[in-house]
């Protein structure tokens, strides 16, 4: 398998649930990213990991918790989300912080 | 600091007509510039990129873009639109802020192709 994969592709959860999004890259890249894409809003960068260390956190609420156990895997742990958190969550990776980003297909999250 | 502005959130063209999607950037250092495309229910994929080599960059699916430093622009063009070009297009800039590389995406332009 090649490229960036994300699971699940669709997720519906209640506000009291805890769930996790998974991202996996088989490209040997050093940097990984989480983005939030909401309707009629710009793409929002949430977190950046470089060599498994978090290097950027753009004022994301604590109900979103990222984890990068190794350079190939990135998780986004979700708990007590709000309906306004419903969006498409995109994972990306890149060989360096300046290079082309390779995106996964996204997880469509709906919070009820 | 870097920023990128895409003029026009929606653009409609007839099939076979010229496609022109506008992108202006600001950057305190020579930038890397990118165009990405997003089809429905998919992630973004790279169309083309400028990394300080040739100013006219050719990408996939017949798209190209020209880096114009004097105009701080990186507009995306395609001579003849095809129905399959209907998608959302994002311009992005990569540069440094306080020694750290930052990657900034524009707000996107949704291209509609009319039969």
* pLDDT given for residue B17 in this prediction: 98
CB contact under 8 A, B34 and A100: yes
| DSSP-assigned letter for residue B28 | S
- Distance in angstroms (rounded) separating the CA atoms of residues A48 and A34: 7
pLDDT of B106 above 90: yes
pLDDT of B113 above 70: yes
Residues A50-108: tens digit of each pLDDT? 877 777 777 899 999 999 999 899 999 999 999 999 999 999 999 987 789 999 999 99
Query: Closest to B105 (Cβ–Cβ): which among A4, A42, A106?
Result: A42
Q: Evaluate whether B67 touches B55 at the Cβ level (below 8 Å).
A: yes
DSSP one-letter string for B43-92: -EEEEEEE-SS-SEEE-GGG-EEEEETTTTEEEEEESS--GGG-EEEEEE
Show residues of chain B in contact with A97, CB under 8 Å. 94, 100-101, 103
- Distance in angstroms (rounded) separating the CA atoms of residues A81 and B11: 35
pLDDT of A47 above 60: yes
Q: Which residue of B has its CA nearest to A45?
A: B104
CB contact under 8 A, A42 and B49: no
Q: Evaluate whether B3 touches B24 at the Cβ level (below 8 Å).
A: no
Residue A42 touches partner B, C-beta closer than 8 Å:
yes
Question: How many angstroms from the chain centroid is the CA of residue B73?
Answer: 10
- Distance in angstroms (rounded) separating the CA atoms of residues B42 and B6: 21
* pLDDT given for residue B97 in this prediction: 64
Give CA separation, A62 vs A32, A55, A81, in Å: 19, 16, 10
Q: Which residue has the higher pLDDT, A2 or B112?
A: B112
pLDDT of A1 above 60: no
Average pLDDT of every residue of chain B: 91
Select the residue from B41, B43, B89 to test the A interface by mutation, using most A Cβ atoms within 10 A: B43
Show residues of chain A in contact with B103, CB under 8 Å. 45, 97-98, 101
Coil, strand, or helix at residue A83?
Answer: helix
Coil, strand, or helix at residue A32?
Answer: strand
* pLDDT given for residue B27 in this prediction: 81
Residues B71-94: tens digit of each pLDDT? 999 999 999 999 999 999 999 998
- Give me the count of residues in chain A: 112
Contacts of A43 (CB under 8 A, 6+ apart): A35, A36, A37, A90, B90, B105, B108
Of B115, B113, B83, nearest to B11 (Cα)?
B113
pLDDT of B53 above 90: no
H or E, element range at A76:
strand A73-79
Measured from the Cβ of residue A44, the count of other Cβ atoms closer than 10 Å reads 15
Classify strands B19-26 and B3-7 as parallel, antiparallel or unpaired.
Answer: antiparallel
């Amino acid at each position: 398998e090649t490229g960036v994969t994300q699971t699940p592709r669709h997720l519906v959860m209640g506000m009291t649930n805890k769930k996790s999004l998974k991202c996996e890259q088989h490209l040997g890249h050093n940097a990984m990213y989480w983005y939030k894409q909401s309707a009629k809003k710009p793409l929002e960068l949430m977190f950046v990991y470089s060599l498994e260390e978090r290097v950027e956190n753009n004022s994301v609420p604590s109900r979103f918790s990222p984890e990068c156990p190794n350079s190939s895997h990135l998780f986004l742990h979700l708990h007590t989300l709000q309906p306004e958190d419903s969006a498409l969550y995109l994972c990306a990776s890149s060989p360096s912080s300046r290079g082309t980003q390779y995106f996964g297909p996204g997880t469509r999250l709906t919070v009820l | 600091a870097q920023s990128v502005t895409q003029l026009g959130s929606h653009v409609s063209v007839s099939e076979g007509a010229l496609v022109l999607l506008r992108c202006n950037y600001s950057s305190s250092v020579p930038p890397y510039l990118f165009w990405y495309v997003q089809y429905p229910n998919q992630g973004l994929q790279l169309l083309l990129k400028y990394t300080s080599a040739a100013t006219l960059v050719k990408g996939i699916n017949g798209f190209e873009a020209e880096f114009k430093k004097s105009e701080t622009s990186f507009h995306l063009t395609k001579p003849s639109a095809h129905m399959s070009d209907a998608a959302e297009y994002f311009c992005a800039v990569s540069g440094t802020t306080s020694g750290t590389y930052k990657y900034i995406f524009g707000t996107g332009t949704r291209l509609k192709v009319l039969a």
